Structure 1
């Protein structure tokens, strides 16, 4: 088996405009969830008035021409990919040996709906000629591949909230197969828009805590009442260990394995027993050549929904048994909200940094832990032990998509 390592990270999130700023805010127990200050909240009578928008707006980072030619989801992807590439120190790589696998859950929604409004209000002549390239779900992967001149492939995963993690699992396979020496993997989402908020609210999926947004996302708490919509992007630079060591790269961690399964149960609800999720965990561990007893940290999917949190617990218990109560578990959506297709990539970055810095990040807003979920939830930054350490990052999405990646300390 080829060893795969992480040599670069990047992110733009509700907590910060870079991976490091996001990590620092996460460790400080900050929340990226805020009341929305948009006219459309009142105009459209949107019932949920808060979300987790990015801390640093894309227009403050990108050039005007890039803003005009890219949907917000692709803008965020480009920002995080540039950071990750610079962080990796890569240069002089043959373009035919660089591959992009970049995910989204929904894609260019802002572009699509703005164009529909233009068509209805101003007619077809006013619809922008770049509309289709901007709204395509693969627009982020295309933008990143053109930025980095990656010619081994530009692939796109669209698997709801498992998308970002699935792209990282795919990257592991690409490198095992020798399709590239370097894979740029990640996920992005930017759909803090009246339609998705109204639609998620109609499903009773969102928290209703309009009066206390910073405390609305509360995984594992008995008073959890739904997830908080977030936005952002995150990117990992993955290489074979041989390639990374030959160029003297800094290595954050090893990507030891990744797995994808499906529930075939319900279009929105997870399998209540977590059968598909537990199979993904076991398969990721098998790829990593590890057993349940080797896991020392988990970044859980933990969306703060009454049904989802307990289903994930059942999945973990079926794999780890009573040992699961000894594993430090972080539920970082409490701070970031749920980035949909971008969430797995951001949480993978957090998992890599947890291993690299030997610190499990905190889960905020946990005041009264659900007795039906007796996990060891980290509520303040916790030092992880020295020595070899394996960590998991879990993502599960509508449609029964399950994706789990395993990282090992370097």
Structure 2
């Protein structure tokens, strides 16, 4: 029996060649990098009081979504994501390249689409006032909502709009499942390229944290940060996350494909691993993180950690206990600067890790309790950690290209 090439060849090296960031701190890599180095945080403590959010930066949508009709038919989360995806394609030098875009795979991490609050409120008000005759709900749904939607927008509409606006038309997958969806988007894309099943992929997600329906949803679980902003590591007395609005997309491709088109890489995506702790006993999250750490590969001195720690308990305290066992790796928590962006938090961490490696420095700490420390030398490896606020864990290893 003859062995196939996939069983005899080495896995392809995978490079990150494009990064698109549109966050509460700004649009593009320079704006976000400058804000991080200035320790700037953009929070709104009044607009959704008592809840705290990190609002999306103001951008000119026309630069990445030129047709007004396309803009109008998207809700905010889709505009954020489609915009960030365009920035990533620009960064990778493939924007408008029909040959590459026509075979580019796309894996998007997305939550449930935005609801129509006016329709929801009208239905609930009529119900409360006793004005909901038989068939009332069906009548309202048929007359008030667009025929392609049912209560909330479909999660795969983001991928559809990216395909329409930017022409990314290879295979398409949309993963749901809060934070771990972002982990799996990166994990599956990396595995496909490493195995030779794909040459190039667009991965990432977007999140609109300025949504009253989401704040209500997470308040049912007592997850929202309330009243006063604190850095992630200083929330033990008042645990919770501040929702953030952000889009984060990356273009990843095989080294051979990148070199063939003369693309300059930001960093190497070496490994992505994921797990699901049962979280039934104290310490379960810490144990799972240790197991994932052991699967990443060889970790050398000179590394750092970028984590999407949420501020929600008990997951954040257990993650912090794990981090104290690895004191040689300076830590940065993206939730402090960008808020918690759910499905987008892990791609955001990947983007910031690749950006830090490419610029030869880890951005400074932004922490009031001393968990985060300075790092003077350029990071050669950065571990990205994602521990979901109530389920799901993942890690990735980003490395400098030698």
Same fold (TM over 0.5): yes
How far is the alpha carbon of 1:220 from its aligned partner? Answer: 5.0
2:399 is equivalent to residue 408 of structure 1: yes
Gaps of at least 5 residues in structure 1 are: 42-46, 370-374
C-alpha offsets along residues 306-337 of structure 1, whole Å, 9 cap, x if unaligned? 522221133446xxx4xx11211111211111
> Does the 8 A contact of 1:119 with 1:127 survive in 2?
no
Q: Give the distance between the partners of 1:48 and 1:166, measured in 2 at CA.
A: 33
Q: Which residue of 2 aligns with 1:70?
A: 74
Question: What is the root-mean-square deviation of aligned Cα atoms in Å?
Answer: 2.7
Mark the CA change 1:281 to 1:93 in structure 2 (over 3 Å): closer, same or farther. farther
Q: TM-score, normalised by structure 1?
A: 0.82
How far is the alpha carbon of 1:157 from its aligned partner? Answer: 1.5
SS of match in other structure, 1:239: strand
2:215 is equivalent to residue 182 of structure 1: no
Q: Give the distance between the partners of 1:33 and 1:330, measured in 2 at CA.
A: 18
Q: Which residue of 2 aligns with 1:44?
A: none
> Does the 8 A contact of 1:107 with 1:138 survive in 2?
no
Mark the CA change 1:351 to 1:96 in structure 2 (over 3 Å): closer, same or farther. same
C-alpha offsets along residues 51-81 of structure 1, whole Å, 9 cap, x if unaligned? 1111125767644322321222221110000
How far is the alpha carbon of 1:114 from its aligned partner? Answer: 4.8
Q: TM-score, normalised by structure 2?
A: 0.84
Give the stretch that moved more between structures: 301-310 or 348-357. Answer: 301-310
Q: How many residues align?
A: 373
How far is the alpha carbon of 1:394 from its aligned partner? Answer: 0.8
> Does the 8 A contact of 2:115 with 2:152 survive in 1?
no
Q: Which residue of 2 aligns with 1:128?
A: 146
Q: Which residue of 1 aligns with 2:22?
A: 12
The structure with the largest alpha-carbon Rg is 2
Q: Which residue of 2 aligns with 1:255?
A: 269
Gaps of at least 5 residues in structure 2 are: 1-10, 127-138
Q: Give the distance between the partners of 2:33 and 2:156, measured in 1 at CA.
A: 28
Q: Which residue of 2 aligns with 1:372?
A: none
Segments of 4+ in structure 1 off by > 4 A? 57-63, 117-122, 220-224, 269-273
Which of 139, 144, 154 is equivalent to 2:157?
Answer: 139
SS of match in other structure, 2:181: helix
SS of match in other structure, 2:232: coil
How far is the alpha carbon of 1:344 from its aligned partner? Answer: 1.2
Write out aligned runs for 1:2-401 (5 A): 2-37=12-47, 41=48, 48-56=50-58, 62=65, 63-90=67-94, 91-95=97-101, 97-104=103-110, 106-111=111-116, 113-117=117-121, 123=140, 124-132=142-150, 135-208=153-226, 210=227, 212-213=228-229, 216-220=230-234, 225-265=239-279, 272-283=284-295, 285-286=296-297, 290-291=298-299, 293-294=300-301, 296-316=303-323, 321=325, 324-364=326-366, 366-369=367-370, 375=371, 377-378=372-373, 382-385=375-378, 389-398=380-389, 400-401=391-392
